[in-house]
């Protein structure tokens, strides 16, 4: 019963976000989320009162900062259902997390003739790192097609997987279409073929509860800045046995056991993959962001965004000149095309009405090619959006169609 009550009450949280002025409809959360005061305060507090480096200092301030840093790792691990905090690697963002797996795991374990399965809708971050390592390792890439309504076609993928596939890497939620992957089924299909599953959780983590164990994946990546946290910090989660077997990918301080010119040995994970001084304050900001969204409840956030998507899709589908892309039940993201108007013009005219959307290829050029478009207009929602933002979007698009006749 509680769930039903929570899910029917709209969130009204815009007051938590000092960078969102009255009357501005910020609909670009899929690119990056605005920051609540709780996150900004945590960052300001760290720089103005508790700042020091971690892991190396012998003085009390550094020891305390180390405790706070490692508490954040535990909190993030708990948030995504990790078995142990050591499975959480702090990286710059999803892009770096995927590159880490490609270079470290791929560099060590991919052999000539091995295959990697991606999908048509992947972000460039989940394509190019695999191309780079495939080229080096002599491996090949296959691309799972999409269903008519823009989901990764797992039936088709099932027919394409072979025992040569060593890794499947898929977006948990598409950054363009908002389509949600059936991740458990993807995990089963990958594992039945003897492959690992990496999920790109950039757009899923801010929008739905995540439990990496329940999903059954092997690697999961996401970026802090899309989760209402700071830029420059993200997470790679990996199964402990996989991380243990992976070689370092960047060398430097903090990732070693012992360094000598006759041979260097390395620290166990997570330190093995965190060379150099980490983004200490970014990690604390991420902790505050995780606290912020869990305080709201990921189920409540999912229900809130679902309602906004439903409203937006219903209003836009009533407009003859608008082509809606992606499935009906897309998560927090609505891409569309306005007939005869370039998405950049749509974006510019909407901006004049104080509506901020994204227009472009969204770092998903293969998907654009599949859709037969150069670009799309994309509205994406966050916890601060409400019905009036959807109304502003719809009024703005009406204006676009009036201007372009």
H helical segments located in 81-219 = 94-100, 107-109, 128-137, 154-160, 183-192, 212-215
Near ligand PMP in 214-243, by CB under 6 A: 223
d(CA 33, CA 364): 19
How many Cα atoms are found within 13 Å in the side-chain-facing hemisphere of 122?
26
Interacting stretch for ligand PMP, rule CB under 6 A, among 118-126, 207-215, 293-301, 346-354?
118-126
Kindly state the smallest distance separating residue 22's Cβ from ligand PMP, in Å: 28
Q: Which of 140, 96, 100, 147 is nearest to 121 (CA)?
A: 147
- In whole angstroms, how close is the CB of 93 to ligand PMP at the nearest point? 3
Give the SS3 label for residue 120. Answer: coil
| Shortest distance in whole angstroms from residue 130 CB to ligand PMP | 13
Told to check if 28 binds ligand PMP by CB under 6 A, we report no
Element at 343 (helix H, strand E): helix 343-352
Q: For the chain, give the number of residues.
A: 405
Is 123 a binder of ligand PMP (CB under 6 A)? yes
Site for ligand PMP in 77-96 (CB under 6 A): 93-95
Q: Based on CB atoms, which residue is closest to ligand PMP, 34 or 223?
A: 223
Q: Which of 363, 370, 399, 404 is catalytic?
A: 363
Nearer residue to ligand PMP within complex by CB, 221 or 394: 221
Q: Are 258 and 265 in contact (CB under 8 A)?
A: yes
Q: Choose the stretch contacting ligand PMP; rule: CB under 6 A; options: 105-113, 119-127, 253-261, 337-345.
A: 119-127
169 near ligand PMP, judged by CB under 6 A: no
| Shortest distance (Å) from residue 12 CB to ligand PMP | 26
Q: Which two tokens stand for residue 190?
A: 């990958």
Nearer to ligand PMP, 200 or 389 (CB): 200
Buried b (16+ CB within 10 A) or exposed e, 262-300: eeeebbebbbbbbbeebbbbbbbbbbbbbebbeebbbeb
Q: Is 203 in the site for ligand PMP (CB under 6 A)?
A: yes
Q: Are strands 322-325 and 196-200 parallel, antiparallel or unpaired?
A: unpaired
Question: With binding defined as CB under 6 A, does residue 133 bind ligand PMP?
Answer: no
| Stretch binding ligand PMP (CB under 6 A), from 7-15, 121-129, 237-245, 334-342 | 121-129
Residue 117 in contact with ligand PMP, rule: CB under 6 A: no
Tokens describing residue 320:
């003859």
Peptide bond into 345 cis (omega under 30): no
- The pairing of strands 376-380 and 358-360 is antiparallel
Pick between residue 176 and residue 337 the one whose CB is nearest to ligand PMP: 176
The CB-of-92 to ligand PMP minimum distance in angstroms stands at 7
β pairing state of 333-338 and 88-91: unpaired
Residue 175 makes contact with ligand PMP by CB under 6 A: yes
* 363 annotated active-site: yes
Beta bridge partners of 396: none
| CB nearer ligand PMP, residue 31 or residue 43 | 31
Binding footprint of ligand PMP, residue count (CB under 6 A): 13
Identity of the residue, 342 or 361, whose beta carbon is nearer to ligand PMP in the bound complex: 361
Alpha helices in 23-59 (DSSP H): 37-45
Cα 27–Cα 33–Cα 38 angle in degrees, nearest 5: 130
Q: Do 14 and 37 meet the contact criterion of CB atoms below 8 Å apart? A: no
Binding of ligand PMP at residue 171 (CB under 6 A)? yes
* Closer by beta carbon to ligand PMP, 80 or else 171: 171
Under rule CB under 6 A, residue 200 binds ligand PMP: yes
- Number of alpha carbons in the 13 Å side-chain half-sphere of residue 253: 7
> What amino acid positions are annotated as catalytic residues?
363
Which residues of this protein are in contact with ligand PMP, per CB under 6 A?
Answer: 93-95, 123, 125-126, 171, 175, 200, 202-203, 223, 363
């Amino acid at each position: 019963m509680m769930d039903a009550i929570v899910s029917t009450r709209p969130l009204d949280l815009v007051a938590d976000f000092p960078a969102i002025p009255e009357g501005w409809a910020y609909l670009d959360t899929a690119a990056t989320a605005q920051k609540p005061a709780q996150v900004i305060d945590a960052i300001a507090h760290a720089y103005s009162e508790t700042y020091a480096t971690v892991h190396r200092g012998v003085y009390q301030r550094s020891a305390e900062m180390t405790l706070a840093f490692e508490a954040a790792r535990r909190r993030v691990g708990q948030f995504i259902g990790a078995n142990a905090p050591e499975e959480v690697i702090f990286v710059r963002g999803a892009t770096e997390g995927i590159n880490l797996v490609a270079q470290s795991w791929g560099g060590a374990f991919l052999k000539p003739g091995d295959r990697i399965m991606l999908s048509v809708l992947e972000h460039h971050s989940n394509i190019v790192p695999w191309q780079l390592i495939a080229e080096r390792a002599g491996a090949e890439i296959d691309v799972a097609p999409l269903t008519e309504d823009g989901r990764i076609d797992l039936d088709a993928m099932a027919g394409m997987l072979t025992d040569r596939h060593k890794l499947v890497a898929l977006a948990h939620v598409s950054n363009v279409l908002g389509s949600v992957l059936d991740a458990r089924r993807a995990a089963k299909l990958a594992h039945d073929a003897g492959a690992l599953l990496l999920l790109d959780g950039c757009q899923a983590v801010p929008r739905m509860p995540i439990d990496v164990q329940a999903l059954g994946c092997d690697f999961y990546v996401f970026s802090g800045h899309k989760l209402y946290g700071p830029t420059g910090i993200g997470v790679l989660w990996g199964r402990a046995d996989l991380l243990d077997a992976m070689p370092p990918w960047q060398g430097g301080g903090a990732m070693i056991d012992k360094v000598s010119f006759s041979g260097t040995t390395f620290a166990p994970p997570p330190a093995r993959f965190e060379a150099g001084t980490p983004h200490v304050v970014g990690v604390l900001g991420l902790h505050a962001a995780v606290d912020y969204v869990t305080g709201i409840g990921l189920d409540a956030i999912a229900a809130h965004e679902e309602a906004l998507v439903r409203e937006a899709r219903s209003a836009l589908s009533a407009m003859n000149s608008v082509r809606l892309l992606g499935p009906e039940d897309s998560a927090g993201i609505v891409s569309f095309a306005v007939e005869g108007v370039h998405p950049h013009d749509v974006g510019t005219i909407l901006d004049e009405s104080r509506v901020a959307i994204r227009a472009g290829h969204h770092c998903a050029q293969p998907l654009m090619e599949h859709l037969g478009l150069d670009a799309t207009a994309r509205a994406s929602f966050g916890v601060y959006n409400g019905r009036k933002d959807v109304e502003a979007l719809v009024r703005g698009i009406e204006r676009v169609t009036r201007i372009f006749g």
